[in-house]
Amino acid sequence: MNRRQFLALSLSGLISPAILSLINTESSAQPGKSFDLRAGTWKTAQTITPYFYEQFLPKGSSVKVFPFTNPGDQKTALLAGSLDITGTTIVHAIHAAAKGEPIVIVCSLCDKCSALVVKKEAGIQKPADLRGKKIGYVPGTMHDVLLRETLIKAGLDPARDVTLLRIDFFDMGQALAQGNIDAFLSGEPYPTQAVVQGYGEILAYPYFDDSIGPINAGMIVTRELIAKRRDLVQAGVNAHARATDYLIEHPDVWLKRAEEFGNKMEILQVAAKNMALVWKLDESYIRRAKALGQRMQALGMIDRQPDYDKLFDRSFVQQV
């Protein structure tokens, strides 16, 4: 069958959508070429996508996934050459790029995922009620920015009107349950866990106004890898996009695998409502990232803006 005949059949509906999808997948996966990919991510439901890359890479390819607990270590491993691609928060990527580090965001990873939690029945009804309270946070994270913006909008000075205590995400729930803090802002599933287990209440989902929105994390590579192995980067982004779409269409598969990270299904099913698996990069996303960078500079987290044209490379998602 020649190309013209195939096109005619496809337009007439005689070739099923499933076959078309398979053909499209095969043609874009560079038949005959395999890849060995080293990917970094967190062991959380919202950053699980790399664990599904292998089934969406060309035949014969392999993926080794390295789990991390913070975005700083992921970026360090990437720059050291131990990873080909890794997740990081957009806050951390902007911070790194502002220092001149040669990282490039090639696709998005997850949106939303954060919540401000307070002690149950503590009488805290709105952010302004946090005056004089102790709040758990992790400095330099997206949650740090969200928390400070929430406090400022409520008329509170983060440095004077509250006490910010550095506490690892894994320990925030216990600290709140024991009364060592009055509130915390972190990523899922810890906010939902606090609610389900009965010691916390969601005060707010503190995503910025429409100028920034719910952007959270993306996948980064180095400029050197793009220059030397563009095919490998494209294969990784292709796999990321297809795995993301697959997990969105099969939430049972997504959450069942996330359960292996030590999370209970009853918590994951609720927390999933505050998670968004994503992969696309469009002009709106980059515009939101720039607005985030401006907020970070205003908060003193960076002293200058990065070169966003170098930080983002949309060409890979455009080729998916």
How crowded is residue 310: how many other Cβ atoms within 10 Å of its Cβ?
13
Are 133 and 274 found together in one domain? no
Structural domain boundaries enclosing 314: 3-111+212-318
Share of the chain above pLDDT 90, in %: 84
Q: Which pair of tokens denotes residue 225?
A: 């890898």
DSSP annotation of 89 reads: E
- What DSSP letter does each residue of 87-101 carry, written as one string? EEEHHHHHHHHHTT-
Are 137 and 253 found together in one domain? no
- Supply φ then ψ for residue 126, to 5 degrees: -150, 160
Beta strands in the chain (DSSP E): 36-42, 62-68, 85-89, 103-112, 114-119, 134-137, 163-166, 183-187, 200-204, 215-222, 275-277
CATH number for 196: 3.40.190.10
- How many domains is the chain built from? 2
Are 273 and 248 found together in one domain? yes
- The answer on pLDDT for 241 being more than 90 is yes
For 98-108, the pLDDT digits (tens) are 999 999 999 99
pLDDT at residue number 18:
40
Residue with tokens 């149950």: 120
Chain centroid to CA 221: 15
- The answer on pLDDT for 286 being more than 60 is yes
- The answer on pLDDT for 24 being more than 90 is no
- The answer on pLDDT for 42 being more than 50 is yes
pTM value is: 0.86
Residue type at 17? P
Greater pLDDT, 15 or 311: 311
Q: Which of the listed residues 135, 169, 204 is the one where a domain comes to its end? A: 204
